[in-house]
Amino acid sequence: MNSTILAIESSCDETSAAIVRNGKICSNIIYTQKIHESFGGVVPELASRAHQLAIVPVVHEAFQQANISKNELNAVAFTQGPGLLGSLVVGSSFAKGMALSLNLPLIGVNHMKAHVLAHFIDDPMPKFPFICLTVSGGHTQLVLVKDYLEMEIIGQTQDDAVGEAFDKVARMLGLGYPGGPPIDKWAKSGDPTKFTFPHTSMPALDYSFSGIKTSVLYFLKDQLKLHPNFIKENLADLCASIQHVLISMLLDKLSLAIQKHNINQVAIAGGVSANFSLRERLKKLAVSNNWQVFIPKFEYCTDNAAMIAMAAHHMFKCQLISNFKLKPMPNLRIELSQNKQ
Ligand code: KG4
Ligand code: ZN
């Protein structure tokens, strides 16, 4: 069946539109809202307003880059959740309006499933089943991926997401938002063994990242009392040491999941999968353990509509069409089939 689908992503602070034709991405436009930088985190009300301003030009550019007209579409897809309600409402309303006016089917996509399906945009692609560590600003999940649309969470954070830990620690260090990229950059010239922070271990395959945030806070407070320039003089070593423990925590449970499920194909996805040290350490582990590892291209790590388009492509193939009453769901879980409501 031929299919050309417009997909819209607006779950957080990226307004993005992509067009997929028969499983091939023809365009992927991403507008990252800059307004949040000065606030040290995403301000939900500002995010939804910025989506309203950006969505029309972003969608227009997606059609232009793909050299496809709206009359060639077979469906319109959007991110149903999880995400910020006000942001999700902008994308879902736009998609519904467009689908209604063109008399096209509507497809509501799960954002976390889409992060995993970003691995099917380009070769090499994993084979089922595989384990995906999905690490973003809002989630840290170990996902057992059984098929394109069949996924099970086998472990997850019980408090903060790892991206949130990067962002909060970066704020303490005076490195703006988002915090992952500057920590990643500074860590490259630092010593990961210089400072020690607690490695929190949770039962089974779960994670906890709130402890490290608190321990960094108290450590910095104590040091700053003695040396007011402590952060400035030790920034690279601090970034390397904090990043080292966060990534060790991620990789320890990933290794355990792989052993437990006896699966040797492993993928990473989500914003934190752009991290240099995570990518390098995972590649080394893969060589010593004989795993086959899948690491997404940088443009498909952080939020983008190409991954939503790829999920929509597989949903359309199975005729998983959504009702126009489908509501944005800020806490949508990966296991929920959101399509038949
Ligand atoms: O997947 P994403 O774009 O949005 C959510 O769905 O949350 O992930 C954003 C998160 C932020 O916390 C950001 O600091 C983190 O990904 N991030 C990184 C890197 N690039 C982005 N964390 C560590 N290292 C990076 N290079
Ligand atoms: Zn995301």
pLDDT in tens, 21-63: 999 999 999 999 999 988 888 999 999 999 999 999 999 999 9
Is residue 87 located within the same domain as residue 165?
A: no
Centre of ligand 2 to C-alpha 228, Å, is 37
Is residue 139 located within the same domain as residue 219?
A: yes
Residue 329 lies in a domain: no
Closest CA to ligand 1's atom 14: 180
Residue 217 lies in a domain: yes
Q: 17, 12, 94, 76: which is closest to 48 by C-alpha?
A: 12
What is the number of the ligand 1 atom nearest to the C-alpha of 83?
Answer: 6
Q: What pLDDT, on a 0 to 100 scale, did the predictor assign at position 339? A: 43
**Are the C-beta atoms of 174 and 229 separated by less than 8 Å?**
no
Centre of ligand 2 to C-alpha 112, Å, is 7
Is residue 233 located within the same domain as residue 151?
A: yes
Centre of ligand 1 to C-alpha 197, Å, is 21
Closest CA to ligand 1's atom 8: 271
Lowest mean pLDDT among 175-184, 316-325, 330-339: 330-339
Is residue 133 located within the same domain as residue 104?
A: no
Q: What is the pLDDT of residues 245-258, one digit of tens each?
A: 999 999 999 999 99
Is residue 282 located within the same domain as residue 135?
A: yes
d(CA 203, CA 241): 24
Is residue 180 located within the same domain as residue 254?
A: yes
Q: What pLDDT, on a 0 to 100 scale, did the predictor assign at position 1? A: 75
What is the number of the ligand 1 atom nearest to the C-alpha of 179?
Answer: 14
Question: pLDDT at residue 341 above 80?
Answer: no
Q: What pLDDT, on a 0 to 100 scale, did the predictor assign at position 106? A: 98
From 110, 242, 272, 298, the mutation candidate for ligand 1 (largest count of ligand atoms within 8 A of CB) is 272
Q: What pLDDT, on a 0 to 100 scale, did the predictor assign at position 200? A: 87
337 versus 234: the higher-pLDDT residue is 234
**Are the C-beta atoms of 299 and 10 separated by less than 8 Å?**
no
For residue 298, give the ligand nearest its CA.
1
Question: pLDDT at residue 182 above 60?
Answer: yes
The CA distances from residue 185 to 209, 254, 275, 287, in Å, are 21, 24, 9, 25
Residue 25 lies in a domain: yes
Centre of ligand 1 to C-alpha 68, Å, is 31
Q: Please list every protein residue whose CB sits less than 6 Å from any atom of ligand 1.
A: 12, 136-138, 163, 166-167, 178-181, 184, 270-272, 274-275, 302-303
Interval 133-140 mean pLDDT: 96
Residue 339 lies in a domain: no
Residues in the chain, total: 341
Residue 303 has, within 13 A of its CA and on its CB side, a CA count of 28
Centre of ligand 2 to C-alpha 80, Å, is 12
Centre of ligand 2 to C-alpha 182, Å, is 19
Is residue 77 located within the same domain as residue 135?
A: no
From 33, 113, 136, the mutation candidate for ligand 1 (largest count of ligand atoms within 8 A of CB) is 136
- Report the b/e string of 71-99 with b at 16+ CB within 10 A: eebebbbbbbbbbbbbbbbbbbebbbebb
Domain assignment of residue 16, given as a range: 4-116+300-317
For residue 175, give the ligand nearest its CA.
1
Interval 76-80 mean pLDDT: 98
Q: Could you please report the per-residue DSSP string of 81-101?
A: ESS-HHHHHHHHHHHHHHHHH
Is residue 234 located within the same domain as residue 130?
A: yes
Q: What pLDDT, on a 0 to 100 scale, did the predictor assign at position 125? A: 97
Looking up residue 23, the CATH number of its domain turns out to be: 3.30.420.40
User: SS3 for 30?
Assistant: strand
Closest CA to ligand 1's atom 10: 137
Question: pLDDT at residue 233 above 50?
Answer: yes
Is residue 13 located within the same domain as residue 145?
A: no
Q: What pLDDT, on a 0 to 100 scale, did the predictor assign at position 308? A: 98
What is the number of the ligand 1 atom nearest to the C-alpha of 270?
Answer: 1
Confidence of residue 335 (pLDDT cuts 50, 70, 90): confident
User: What does residue 27 show for φ and ψ, rounded to 5 degrees?
Assistant: -160, 155
Residue 322 lies in a domain: no
Residue 84 lies in a domain: yes
Residue 63 lies in a domain: yes
Centre of ligand 2 to C-alpha 39, Å, is 20
Residue 285 lies in a domain: yes
Question: pLDDT at residue 71 above 80?
Answer: yes
**Are the C-beta atoms of 111 and 41 separated by less than 8 Å?**
no
Tokens of residue 75, six digits: 């469906």
Interval 104-110 mean pLDDT: 98
Closest CA to ligand 1's atom 26: 275
Average pLDDT, the chain: 96
Number of domain units in the chain: 2
Q: What pLDDT, on a 0 to 100 scale, did the predictor assign at position 40? A: 81
Q: What pLDDT, on a 0 to 100 scale, did the predictor assign at position 336? A: 66
Question: pLDDT at residue 72 above 50?
Answer: yes
Q: What is the pLDDT of residues 262-302, one digit of tens each?
A: 999 999 999 999 999 999 999 999 999 999 999 999 999 99
Is residue 97 located within the same domain as residue 214?
A: no
Beta strand ranges found along the chain (DSSP E): 4-9, 14-21, 24-32, 75-81, 106-110, 130-135, 140-147, 150-156, 265-269, 292-294
Question: pLDDT at residue 337 above 60?
Answer: no
Handedness of CA 167, 168, 169, 172 (dihedral sign): positive
Is residue 291 located within the same domain as residue 305?
A: no
The CA distances from residue 236 to 76, 177, 190, in Å, are 45, 17, 4
User: SS3 for 142?
Assistant: strand
